[in-house]
């Protein structure tokens, strides 16, 4: 297969497209972040990368806290807006008719219209060049009860989350499989149970 | 809106589901990673997080290089397999009928069936608890020419990439918008051009 070699660039896709809230109850902002990811399972940790020039960068440095608000198809327009406009010029909550809610463990507000709010405390800030990476521990997660079924299971699929890929936003499409499906098919039930436990542990 | 507070956990979704290749031409392996992300634009940098117990962890520590191979719908089964099986027990290239190719700037092999190979050199390893985070600079990107159109533009959408969300794999679905679409709609063409340049720079 013929391959073309490119110069180094950002080509890891799809990535999350999330609205991050920063500040406190008086001064706060929403910044859209695609350079975000989970970096550790136990304790649960995430990273977000933010340009030093951004208005939210100062609020992050001051409070060392933020909330990651997951973005649904319904919130996609507001998410895009919050990635283009600056909190120096506009009140993004007001402009996008989003509701500031109270987080349970950090001073930054949550976006109530978001199905999942991940409250984070910054553990380290690493300057990488264009961006500073904020390494943070998840201290609480709140979810909109409308996505809980009778058994209390959370149906994230129903939230219709958005991914970012190469300049475009997409909903999630066809479900291709569950984690571990490639080995489950081939095994007996007994082996399946064993494998399942093993892979869960090893996740 | 009623919200339920959960204990801290990994709830940042969707995230990438990628196959990472490690090692050299003699000893190498494929490990599936969901805890991966872009962390810096300039220079282009990524992070991947890997448990210390994993076979690939040793190869990463030895060579300080890896390749991120993006995963298509066609590669989803192999990707899942590579996330469950250990390179200590099986040759994943052989089992999944994947082709080892030569990278342009690192010793780790690429997966030729992947549409995009992101070659990376590790700059730092940070122990976070369950996982070690490998912070790495992108040193080369190679793409399958079959996704280039006549103008040389790369059609990543045609590659049908996979995202990981809460235990399940999905293709990308409906295109909701392009970066900046929320402000373009409202502006004149002249303003649009200015805004476009601004947001590109500010990315």
Which residues of chain B are within 8 Å of residue A111 when distances are taken between CB atoms?
A: none
pLDDT per residue rounded down to tens, chain A (203 residues)? 688 999 899 999 999 999 999 999 999 999 999 999 999 999 999 999 999 999 999 999 999 999 999 999 999 999 999 999 999 999 999 999 999 999 999 999 999 999 999 999 999 999 999 999 999 999 999 999 999 888 888 899 999 999 999 999 999 999 999 999 999 855 544 444 444 444 443 44
DSSP string, A110-178: EETTSSEEEEEEEEEEEE-SSEEEEEEEEEEEEEEGGGB-TTS-B-GGGG-BEEEETTEEEEEEEEEEE
B158 touching chain A per CB within 8 A: no
d(CA B178, CA B181): 5
pTM value? 0.91
Q: What is the ipTM of this complex?
A: 0.90
pLDDT band at B150 (very low <50, low <70, confident <90, very high): confident
Contact (Cβ atoms closer than 8 angstroms) between residue A87 and residue A48: no
Contact (Cβ atoms closer than 8 angstroms) between residue B112 and residue B103: no
Contact (Cβ atoms closer than 8 angstroms) between residue A72 and residue A115: yes
* pLDDT score recorded for residue A149: 83
* pLDDT score recorded for residue B1: 61
Q: CB within 8 A of A148, min separation 6: which ones?
A: A154, A155, B4
Q: How far B191 CA lies from chain A's nearest CA (Å)?
A: 14
pLDDT band at B186 (very low <50, low <70, confident <90, very high): low
The fraction of chain A above a pLDDT of 90, given in percent, is 84
Mean per-residue pLDDT over chain A, rounded: 91
Find which of B1, B2, B3 to mutate to test the A interface (most A CBs within 10 Å of its CB): B3
User: In chain B, helix, strand, coil percent, each to 5?
Assistant: 25, 40, 35
Q: Do B12 and A16 touch (CB under 8 A)?
A: yes
d(CA A132, CA A129): 7
A176 touching chain B per CB within 8 A: yes
A174 touching chain B per CB within 8 A: yes
Q: Tens of pLDDT along A56-111?
A: 999 999 999 999 999 999 999 999 999 999 999 999 999 999 999 999 999 999 99
Contact (Cβ atoms closer than 8 angstroms) between residue B55 and residue B72: no
Q: How far A49 CA lies from chain B's nearest CA (Å)?
A: 6
* pLDDT score recorded for residue A168: 97
Q: CB within 8 A of B45, min separation 6: which ones?
A: A128, A129, B38, B39, B123, B135, B136, B137, B138
Q: Do A4 and B112 touch (CB under 8 A)?
A: no
Minimal Cβ distance to B170: which of A137, A143, A174 = A174
d(CA B87, CA B18): 16
Q: Tens of pLDDT along B91-117?
A: 999 999 999 999 999 999 999 999 999
Q: What is the mean pLDDT of residues B120-126?
A: 98
Residues within 8 A of B (CB atoms), A 4-63 only: 4-16, 18, 34-47, 49, 51, 53
């Amino acid at each position: 297969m013929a391959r073309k070699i490119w110069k180094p660039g950002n080509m890891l896709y799809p990535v999350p497209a999330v609205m991050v809230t920063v500040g406190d109850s008086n001064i706060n902002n929403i910044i859209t972040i695609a350079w975000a990811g989970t970096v550790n399972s136990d304790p649960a940790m995430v990273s977000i990368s933010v340009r030093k020039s951004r208005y939210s960068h100062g609020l992050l440095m001051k409070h060392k806290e933020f909330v990651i608000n997951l973005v649904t198809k319904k919130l996609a327009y507001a998410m895009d807006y919050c990635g283009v406009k600056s909190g120096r010029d506009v009140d993004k909550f007001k402009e996008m008719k989003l509701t500031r809610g109270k987080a349970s463990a950090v001073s930054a507000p949550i976006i109530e219209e978001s199905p999942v709010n991940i409250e984070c405390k910054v553990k380290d800030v690493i300057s990488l060049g264009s961006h500073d990476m904020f390494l943070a521990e998840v201290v609480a997660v709140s979810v909109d009860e409308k996505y809980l079924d009778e058994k209390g299971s959370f149906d994230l699929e129903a939230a219709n989350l958005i991914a970012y890929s190469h300049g475009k936003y997409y909903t999630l499409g066809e479900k291709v499989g569950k984690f571990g499906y490639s080995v489950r098919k081939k095994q007996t039930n007994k082996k399946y149970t064993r494998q399942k436990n093993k892979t869960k542990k090893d996740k």
